[in-house]
């Protein structure tokens, strides 16, 4: 292993340990000493990579953003229709939020800091939902009389709420709960014909391609590449 | 004014000032010195009423809970049907969250502490939604084939999401946005016949009775009585 590879590994270990500390104690109460210990490195090694706790948080946020972007791109490439891609994205993102501590902590941090940070993940999700409904209407799969601004707000509100509620009870991000949401919403989002083609539980092949990264951090890291 | 009335006034002023500090800076960064100054009292007076910052936060939470309970009771007493009461409650609660800093700060605090506090406002809202849909089904206004557990989760998720999103952009709790949510959801919650009787924008008389308390703290305080 080259010196550069070792440095990259240490950096990854620090980001993961920081995410665990932020997830468990919150940003304010997380301690740098605990983060370096969690990564199995000295506090000198931590300071070689990150000047401040804020710099660590920024690294966790940007790692989370990278993973989430990759998941959304994957779903939109593989799903059979715009609406199905929206459903599939929500499932793979929820799965990742449940099981990948870097994504979870990075997303939480971003919700706090988004108003003065470059990346605003909730805003990106809102724009993704809005564009998807536009595309779906163009393809004749969303009824022309649907009030897309209302539908967008409902989808964004409900998914943001599930994420917020899952901070105390992760079952809000379970596949079962999310499937129930799409059962409820899809009849408003899709024409009756399009509805018969949609799977509220997600497209198995899309979800399975990313799903197992959940329990395999190495796989999740590969996705981030 | 008796000595007891003066003490009550000071206590109210301290609770409002604490809520403003928690709302603006967050619980951790709010300072007792700023809270007593904001209430126009000495730090001795603050300590006469509250031993610790945690005690102040508990008072803000319980004041918020009292207001929210009163608003929900009012809507359920005055609205013409269970589903309309749910819509009306959501409007008056959203209105209060936008304009009443004690309710807003108390609700936020409760979201953080609910898992080890006596009152869990989000859980109470979930139970209120669940009971309302049960009652509505009993009255024949919600279709018997509706999957009430899914509908409950969708309503709770979307409203929790609007509250969370409104922390950075209050328009998520505007009457317009909430009306759009009910436009989208009511066709799933109500039979076609019941739907024609429902007002997604809320019942004017119910909302107006409590609405103006928003800009008038004295009115809001009266409601809490």
Determine which of B161, B173, B175, B180 to mutate to test the interface with A (most A C-beta atoms within 10 Å): B161
H-only helix segments in A26-146: 32-38, 43-49, 53-78, 82-99, 101-113, 121-138
pLDDT at residue A166 tops 80: yes
Rounded CA-CA distance B87/B200 in Å is: 7
pLDDT at residue B219 tops 50: no
Q: Does B153 touch chain A (CB under 8 A)?
A: yes
Pick the CATH number of A63-224 from 1.10.1740.10, 3.40.50.300, 1.25.40.10, 1.10.357.10: 1.10.357.10
Is B172–A157 a contact, with Cβ atoms under 8 angstroms apart?
yes
| Alpha-carbon distance B105 to nearest alpha carbon in chain A (angstroms) | 16
> Model confidence at B115, in pLDDT bands (50, 70, 90)?
low
Q: Does A122 touch chain B (CB under 8 A)?
A: yes
Give me the percent of chain B exceeding a pLDDT of 90.
Answer: 78
Is B150–A183 a contact, with Cβ atoms under 8 angstroms apart?
yes
Look up the ipTM and state it.
0.88
Whether B198 contacts B175, CB under 8 Å: no
> Model confidence at B217, in pLDDT bands (50, 70, 90)?
very low
pLDDT score, position B116: 66
Domain boundaries, chain B: 1-51, 61-224
Whether A98 contacts A213, CB under 8 Å: no
For the beta carbon of residue B22, count every other beta carbon within 10 angstroms: 26
CA distances from B209 to B71, B171, B206, B214, B219 (A): 10, 22, 5, 11, 11
CATH architecture of A1-51: Orthogonal Bundle (1.10)
Q: Does the domain at residues B61-224 carry the CATH identifier 2.40.30.20? A: no
Per-residue pLDDT reduced to its tens digit, B2-60: 888 999 999 999 999 999 999 999 898 899 999 999 999 999 999 999 999 999 999 99
pLDDT score, position A208: 83
pLDDT at residue A220 tops 70: no
The shortest CB-CB distance from A149 to any of B151, B154, B180 is to: B180
Rounded CA-CA distance B158/A156 in Å is: 8
């Amino acid at each position: 292993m080259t010196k550069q590879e070792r440095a990259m590994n240490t950096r990854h270990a620090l980001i993961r340990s920081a995410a665990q500390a932020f997830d468990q104690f919150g940003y304010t109460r997380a301690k740098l000493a605990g983060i370096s210990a969690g990564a199995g490195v000295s506090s000198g090694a931590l300071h070689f990579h990150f000047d401040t706790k804020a710099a660590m948080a920024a690294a966790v946020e940007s790692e989370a953003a990278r993973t989430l972007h990759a998941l959304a791109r994957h779903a939109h490439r593989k799903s059979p229709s715009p609406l199905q891609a929206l459903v599939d994205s929500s499932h793979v993102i929820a799965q990742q939020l449940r099981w990948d501590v870097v994504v979870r902590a990075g997303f939480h941090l971003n919700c706090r800091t988004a108003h003065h940070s470059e990346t605003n993940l909730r805003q990106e999700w809102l724009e993704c939902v809005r564009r998807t409904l536009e595309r779906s209407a163009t393809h004749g799969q969303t009824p022309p009389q649907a009030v897309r601004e209302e539908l967008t707000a409902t989808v964004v509100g409900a998914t943001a709420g599930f994420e917020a509620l899952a901070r105390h009870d992760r079952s809000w991000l379970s596949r079962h709960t999310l499937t129930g949401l799409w059962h409820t919403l899809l009849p408003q989002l899709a024409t009756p014909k399009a509805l018969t083609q949609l799977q509220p539980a997600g497209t198995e092949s899309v979800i399975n391609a990313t799903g197992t990264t959940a329990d395999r951090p190495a796989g999740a890291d590969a996705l981030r590449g």
